[in-house]
């Protein structure tokens, strides 16, 4: 599933593909990627791309003539470039360029979203304005991360994935960052120290840098696709050995998503356990209603 690094790779590819070229024709199929009324507006997206920006998982394209496009890749969407006439499976929209190439938006599961709007309105779209801090374009330090996430009552990983707090973090890279920082996904943000926030901010950047190194290229392959190779350190490695210590990686359901972690490298510390018990005693309900494994303090 595309998250911030994959969307940034898409932005860089589009920027390179469109540079020095004109879109001579834009076309789209009447799928749920578009509302019917938007199709005529999409066909007006011709000429040169004047700006190609990103906020979280959203791509924002501005073209000459004042036209603009907001694009969200959804769960399986991606942009690919092929020569004119070369078929692309699940192509939902196409930009025909003056150099004989076509940039396709391929989306097998149809969860992607494209919205043609005037370029001047792109950053005013409610879905864009609602986003939190972007780790790449706005920077992300320990204090900034604490300010964005620290007041959340949710589990740490769930809070990190709240797009209104940190834009672009998804299930994969949140799990990877927490593993790098040695923090249990079910910790409560209020139990983290300033050093914890600093380490976590650095871990988020490290997880992104790793993704760029491993995935950047014209044809990105998502982990769920056939033939992909899992190069992540903890995500998707349940029941296998931890890459750091060899302990069996565990998983549980958290916020409706599968969370992977190493119980030895990411202990649920007693300070977090005490905070959870305090919240429950105060009548606030369980600290993590969907958490699967219980703290294993007796084993540590």
Lowest mean pLDDT among 84-98, 105-119, 129-143, 274-288: 274-288
> Residue 241, SS3?
strand
Catalytic residue among 11, 54, 55, 57: 57
C-beta of residue 166 within 8 angstroms of C-beta of residue 149:
yes
Answering whether pTM is above 0.85, one says yes
The domains of the chain, with CATH numbers, are 4-130 (3.20.190.10), 142-274 (1.10.8.50)
Catalytic residue among 2, 116, 185, 295: 2
Cα–Cα distance, 55 to 226 (Å, whole number):
29
189 is catalytic: no
pLDDT digits (tens, 9 = 90+) for 29-81: 887 777 665 788 899 999 999 999 999 999 999 999 999 999 999 999 999 99
Cβ contacts of residue 32 below 8 Å, gap of 6+?
A: 110
Catalytic residue among 82, 198, 202, 257: 257
> Residue 159, SS3?
helix
> How far is CA 149 from each of CA 31, 140, 191, 233, 246, rounded to the nearest angstrom?
36, 12, 12, 24, 31
Helices 142-149 and 194-215: crossing angle, nearest 10°? 100
**Alpha-helical segments (H) within 185-259:** 194-215
Site of tokens 């300010």: 147
Catalytic residue among 3, 6, 8, 176: 3
3 is catalytic: yes
**Residue 29: closest CA among 117, 100, 86, 89:** 89
Please provide the distance, in angstroms rounded to a whole number, between the alpha carbons at the two ends of the chain.
Answer: 35
> How confident is the model at residue 291, as a pLDDT?
31
pLDDT digits (tens, 9 = 90+) for 242-270: 999 999 999 999 999 999 999 999 999 65
> How confident is the model at residue 13, as a pLDDT?
97
> How confident is the model at residue 21, as a pLDDT?
98
pLDDT digits (tens, 9 = 90+) for 200-216: 999 999 999 999 998 87
Top-confidence residue, 40 or 139: 139
- What is the rounded average pLDDT for all residues in the chain? 89
57 is catalytic: yes
* Percent of the chain scoring above 70 in pLDDT: 88
257 is catalytic: yes
């Amino acid at each position: 599933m595309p998250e911030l690094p994959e969307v940034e790779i898409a932005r860089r590819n589009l920027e390179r593909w469109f540079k020095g070229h004109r879109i001579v024709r834009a076309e789209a199929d009447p799928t749920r990627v578009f509302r019917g009324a938007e199709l005529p507006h999409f066909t007006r997206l011709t000429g040169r791309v004047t700006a190609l920006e990103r906020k979280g998982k959203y791509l924002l394209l501005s073209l000459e003539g004042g036209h603009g496009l907001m694009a969200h890749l959804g769960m399986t969407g991606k942009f690919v470039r092929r020569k004119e006439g070369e078929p692309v499976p699940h192509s939902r929209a196409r930009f025909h360029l003056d150099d004989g190439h076509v940039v396709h938006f391929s989306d097998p599961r149809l969860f992607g979203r494209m919205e043609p709007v005037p370029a001047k309105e792109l950053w005013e779209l409610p879905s864009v304005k609602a986003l939190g801090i972007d780790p790449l374009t706005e920077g992300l330090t320990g204090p900034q991360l604490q300010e964005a996430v620290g007041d959340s009552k949710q589990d740490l990983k769930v809070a990190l994935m709240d797009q209104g707090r940190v834009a672009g973090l998804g299930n994969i890279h949140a799990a990877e960052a927490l593993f790098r920082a040695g923090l249990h996904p079910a910790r409560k943000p209020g139990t983290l120290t300033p050093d914890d926030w600093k380490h976590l901010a650095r871990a988020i950047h490290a997880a992104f840098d790793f993704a760029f190194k491993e995935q950047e290229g014209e044809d990105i392959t998502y982990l769920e696709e056939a033939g992909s190779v899992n190069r992540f350190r903890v995500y998707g490695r349940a029941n296998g050995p931890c890459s750091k210590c060899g302990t069996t990686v565990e998983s549980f359901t958290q916020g409706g998503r599968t969370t992977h972690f190493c119980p030895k490298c990411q202990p649920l510390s007693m300070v977090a356990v005490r905070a959870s018990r305090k919240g429950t005693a105060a009548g606030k309900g369980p600290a993590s209603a969907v958490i699967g494994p219980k703290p294993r303090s007796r084993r540590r």
